[in-house]
Amino acid sequence: MTDVLDPPVQLPPPPPSHEMLEEHGHDEHHGPTGILKWITTTDHKIIGLSYTVTSVIMMIIGGAFAEIIRAQLASPNGTLVSLSQYNELFTMHGSVMIYLFVGPFAFGGLANIMVPIQIGAPDMAYPRLNALSYWLYLTGAITMLSGFFTAGGAANFGWVAYAPLSNSVNTPGSGADLWIGGLLLTGFSAIFTGVNICATVFYLRAPGMTMFRMPIFTWNMLVTGILILLAFPVLTAGLIMLYCDRHFGTHIFSVQGGGVPVLWQHIFWFWGHPEVYILALPFFGMATEIIAVFSRKPVFGYKGMVFATLTIAALSLGVWAHHMFTTGVVLLPFFSIMSLLIAVPTGIKIFNWIGTMWRGEIWFSTAMLMAIGFLITFLIGGLTGIYLASPPLDFFTHDTYFVVAHFHSVVMALLMAAMGGLYYWGPKITGYLLNERIGKMQFWFLFIGTQIFTFPLYVLGLEGMPRRVAIYPHDPQWKTLNDWSTFGAILIGISTILFVVNVAVSWKKYPSGDNPWDAQTLEWFTTSPPPHHNFYRLPQIRSERPTWDHNHPEHRSLTHGKHPELTEDGLEKVHSS
């Protein structure tokens, strides 16, 4: 190692009267332990881990619902569950997966742990607010799921809760109210996490960590945070209106009192479409990091990537009514062109990922396989999204299995990226690697299972099978395709079991060291797991890859095919703007 960079400096000791950055090692010896430690912690890593574990449990619960749904559809006259149970199952499957798994896993789990470390911060900006987020999320999840234990069963109006089906006449009972209450709680938890991420990124970056040196994952989380703040309050307001309609006799969404049912759809999707990008952007970020690290190259087109993320955020606020094309009361051309345009930044990202791999040295670890699986599966989901953005094609496929297949391609891609994130960052969080053999098996089950699961659904949709039906007695020939899809779902289920097995098998077995992947960003500079306030020391930050620059000073990024100029003391010369 040459000394192109000056040696990492020790942070100065804290002044006596203040809580400071440095406070490591000894903190395990005092302070609460056990369950009390879990309840009172404000450490972003512990909160993030709680979020991660809770949301993976939610994924398993939601997955179990999905397997029951698929088993029911394995025959045209399935009798495994009743019609009303079926409605509860798909409602809770969608709700658990969207509200309680994908989002919280991304911004409450991995982002909560990684964003502060990636920018060299000691913790989130508001640690106690962060803890509150977790408690709201946990109680929200419990509230929503407890609907199953009420007399009328859980909510059964679909995860979108269209008015007037969701009013107190058509859906009486406390299951629906528990759904609304649970969603209010998790909604607030998301808002608080969004505030926290934005404030952390804006105020707690390490010296030299300029905005355009943040890792892509952190950039994406910042934009996700902004989108959360733009979108979630709308959902919260909508839920309160819905509750008032149900219990206080208002008629916001019901025709009888002069209300407008479609207003609910406007409100819901004004949150709902930004939400799909709130779900997607974190995983785009994870895949970006993984692909760069395992190709041993910088992110190709870093600035283009940031620009694409911002463009997606900008457009995502103007496309909500592509979910409402068939209402007949929205401005078709506007929403059509805006939705089509979102494909452009998405395409930029895909080409940048390929550019990152191009001429790299690709190491096929489980994390990398998951990221490539994500890339291919997301490509399929994105391309079918383009069809749906065209109103005539949407008229023809709306509310059929084609739409179900579209978003399952997308969200299964996100699941692959999520798994990649766990394999990639797991060692950083715990200090131990997961077993790669089982990991690769898990990947193949997940990837092949996903394609076998979604492809028949596309065809079924085109043959006219509507979504959210428990039986299809008039078209028994659909059984074959449904069986294939069920088979794919079983493979996906096996992959989930393999993941759990892997965690059990590898438990504290394969110590990872601090930087097992020769990774690039700041979180790999500290120990695994990181100390209480994350860093004992920080390297000089001169690019978006401080750890790589420190480990491979002779292999810095060639900004435009050229090596950067160096100053006399060996530091990269940067012209401050």
* Site residues for Cu ion per CB under 5 A: 273
Please report whether residue 343 would count as binding ligand HEM according to CB under 6 A: yes
Evaluate whether 554 touches 540 at the Cβ level (below 8 Å). Answer: no
Please report whether residue 410 would count as binding ligand HEM according to CB under 6 A: yes
Nearest approach, Cβ of 172 to ligand HEM (angstroms)? 24
Among 55, 309, 346, 356, binds ligand HEM (CB under 6 A): 346
Evaluate whether 200 touches 133 at the Cβ level (below 8 Å). Answer: no
Nearest approach, Cβ of 504 to another protein (angstroms)? 29
Nearest approach, Cβ of 281 to ligand HEM (angstroms)? 9
- Unique residue bearing structure tokens 């409602």: 91
Query: How many CB atoms within 10 Å of residue 212?
Result: 12
Size of the site for ligand HEM (CB under 6 A): 23
Please report whether residue 160 would count as binding ligand HEM according to CB under 6 A: yes
Nearest approach, Cβ of 410 to ligand HEM (angstroms)? 4
Among another protein, Cu ion, ligand HEM, none, the one that 574 touches (CB under a kind-dependent 5 to 8 A) is: another protein
Residue closer to ligand HEM by CB (options 90, 499) is 90
Among another protein, Cu ion, ligand HEM, none, the one that 195 touches (CB under a kind-dependent 5 to 8 A) is: none
Among 403, 438, 452, 522, binds ligand HEM (CB under 6 A): 403
**241-246 — which CB contacts under 8 Å span 24+ positions?**
241/267, 242/161, 242/163, 242/166, 242/167, 242/180, 243/177, 243/180, 245/163, 245/167, 245/168, 246/166, 246/167, 246/168, 246/176, 246/177, 246/180
Note the residue count of the chain: 577
- Unique residue bearing structure tokens 């009267």: 17
- What is the rounded distance in angstroms from the CA atom of residue 343 to the CA atom of residue 338? 9
> Is the peptide bond between 466 and the residue preceding it cis, with omega within 30 degrees of 0?
no
Nearest approach, Cβ of 508 to another protein (angstroms)? 25
Please report whether residue 45 would count as binding ligand HEM according to CB under 6 A: no
Nearest approach, Cβ of 92 to another protein (angstroms)? 14
Nearest approach, Cβ of 417 to ligand HEM (angstroms)? 11
Among 132, 286, 388, 452, binds ligand HEM (CB under 6 A): 388
Going by C-beta distance under 8 Å and a sequence separation of 6 or more, which residues neighbour residue 276? 316, 407, 410
Residue closer to Cu ion by CB (options 407, 444) is 407
Q: Where are the alpha helices (DSSP H) in 155-301?
A: 174-203, 216-247, 261-295
Among Cu ion, another protein, ligand HEM, none, the one that 388 touches (CB under a kind-dependent 5 to 8 A) is: ligand HEM
Nearest approach, Cβ of 143 to Cu ion (angstroms)? 27
Please report whether residue 130 would count as binding ligand HEM according to CB under 6 A: no
Please report whether residue 280 would count as binding ligand HEM according to CB under 6 A: yes
CB burial of 318-330 (b: ≥16 within 10 Å; e: otherwise) equals bbbbbbbbeeeeb
Q: How far is CA 177 from the centre of its chain?
A: 26
Ramachandran bin of 106, using left for φ above 0, alpha for ψ from -120 to 50, beta for the remaining angles:
alpha
Handedness of CA 455, 289, 557, 222 (dihedral sign): positive
Residue closer to another protein by CB (options 5, 59) is 5
Among another protein, ligand HEM, Cu ion, none, the one that 385 touches (CB under a kind-dependent 5 to 8 A) is: ligand HEM
Q: Which amino acid belongs to residue 91? A: T
| 3 state SS of 510 | strand
Please report whether residue 276 would count as binding ligand HEM according to CB under 6 A: yes
Residue closer to another protein by CB (options 262, 497) is 262
Going by C-beta distance under 8 Å and a sequence separation of 6 or more, which residues neighbour residue 244? 250, 252
* Distances 307 to 153, 198, 212, 347, 560 between C-alpha atoms, Å: 46, 18, 11, 12, 18
Q: Which stretch binds ligand HEM (CB under 6 A): 199-207, 211-219, 387-395, 447-455?
A: 387-395
Q: Which residues bind ligand HEM (CB under 6 A)?
A: 160, 276, 279-280, 322-323, 339, 342-343, 346, 382, 385-386, 388-389, 394, 398, 403, 406-407, 410-411, 414
